[in-house]
Amino acid sequence: MATVEIERIAGEDDSGLILNMGPQHPSTHGVLRVILKMDGEYIEEAVPIIGYLHRGTEKIAESETYTQILGYTDRMDYTAAASSNLGWLVAVETLAGIEVPERAQWLRCIVGELGRLAGHLVWIGTHALDIGAMSIFLYAFRARERVLELFEELCGARMTHSVMRPGGFLEEPRDPFYRKLEDSLDYFLREIDQFDKLLSRNELWLGRTIDVGVISGDDAIAMGLSGPCLRGSGVAWDIRKTEPYAAYDKVEFDVPIGTGKGDVFSRYLLRIEEMRQSVRIMRQVTEHLPPGPVMTDDSRVGRPDTPRLYTDMEAMINHFWMYIHGFPVQRGETYCAIEAPKGELGFYVVSDGSGKPYRMHVRSPSFVNLQSLPYLVKGRLLADVVSVIGSIDIVLGEIDR
């Protein structure tokens, strides 16, 4: 792979040093490969090579039912699987016209924000490790362990959980989940404060992040950046506010923009604040969670009660039909986006009226954000590539799909 790129950037005269970084380099967060043309310690040109983790999710989705695809979305952004699940479900429910009960909508905010915490804690840990602050990595993963324990309490799985279903949740979470969640909120705040204290005024950290990888707000919009990469440049754009889904229009939270300068430090600062806002949202949800069912009574997607299943022929047929052929979705198309930890995660779904999508396309935030890498590192030092990759916060599972 990539012989064409190497020949192209080496040029006719073959001057300068071509440096290969990845796909097994630890600070490329997976299997990203970057080919760099160097002038001494400075970068003349950077060419990212992706595709090493391509699994053809969009192709596979065409022969799976809408519920089965949920399991594939977990494997896209595997650091925050809950967000990918939520994006898919919002799209399916919009297209099929399924009403989700109020309680499930509020609970989805908890799951979405736990996913954001899980994603951002991996980010702060690995980003700091890349730059040289090694102890943060251990603290971040200790805090993340608490998030994973909460997911374990919620559904039994830790990383790839698919806890939600089209129409709501499979089951009402058990009491220990709520108790443990309420106990954990203050713990999360203490941990976030600790990262803040260790890094935000740390001279080494400031030296490696301030004025590195700068992009202006207008350029960020033109390049299609989203999420923290866009907000770090001073554009307060958050899909939870602009096109609210789940119950985000009923909770209060701020949209932080860091310092607004569009450098690595700004993106760092706003993600730290975003984690605090996540805790704030979860606290509001635990206080105002409305009673009621967590699964829709829409017979197309709702699982029949188990006693009925054994006594009622119709319920049995419905059950088998739903799990073998999937629930039919009316003809049409939809594009639904959510604010994932990395940015705008959009699903474009085309239905031909059957139980499987005719076409499913993912607009993955890391993929679009990564295309700004050559722009952000041009003319900078080699060591800055590492801090810029960390600040874009990429997940290769989502880029390559």
> Contact residues for other proteins (CB under 8 A)?
1-4, 50-51, 54, 56, 58-60, 62-63, 94, 221-225, 235-238, 241-243, 255, 332-335, 337, 344, 346, 348, 350, 358-359, 361, 363, 367-368, 370-371, 400-401
Of 90 and 129, the one with the shorter C-beta distance to other proteins is 90
Query: For residues 27 and 208, is the Cβ–Cβ distance under 8 A?
Result: no
Nearer to other proteins, 268 or 367 (CB): 367
Task: Specify the residue, 344 or 384, whose C-beta has the smaller distance to other proteins.
Answer: 344
Nearest-approach distance from CB 152 to other proteins, in angstroms = 33
How near is the Cβ of 336 to other proteins at its closest, in Å? Answer: 9
The angle subtended at Cα 146 by Cα 286 and Cα 257, nearest 5°, is 70
CB 213 within 8 A of CB 263: yes
For residue 397 the two structure tokens come to 């599972």
Nearest to 79 by CA among 119, 117, 129: 119
- Give me the least distance between CB of 218 and other proteins, in Å please: 8
> Residue 221 Cβ, how far from other proteins at the closest point, in Å?
5
- The identity of residue 81, as a single letter, is A
Residue in the block written with tokens 């319920």: 315
Name residue 19's beta-bridge partners: 36
Nearer to other proteins, 197 or 331 (CB): 331
Q: Please, what is the minimum distance in Å from the beta carbon of residue 129 to other proteins?
A: 27
CA 179 – CA 44 distance, rounded (Å): 54
209 vs 366, beta carbon nearer other proteins: 366
Whose Cβ is closer to other proteins: residue 183's or residue 333's? 333
Which tokens sit at 44?
């003349």
The two tokens of residue 51 are 């595709």
The distance of closest approach from Cβ of residue 99 to other proteins in the complex, given in angstroms and rounded to an integer, is 14
**Beta carbons of 48 and 34 less than 8 angstroms apart:** yes
Cβ nearer to other proteins, comparing 323 with 335: 335
User: Of 189, 79, 84, 167, which is closest to residue 127 (Cα–Cα)?
Assistant: 79
**Nearest approach, Cβ of 255 to other proteins (angstroms)?**
8
- Distances in whole angstroms, Cα of residue 171 to Cα of each of 119, 184, 234, 293, 294: 25, 22, 41, 9, 7
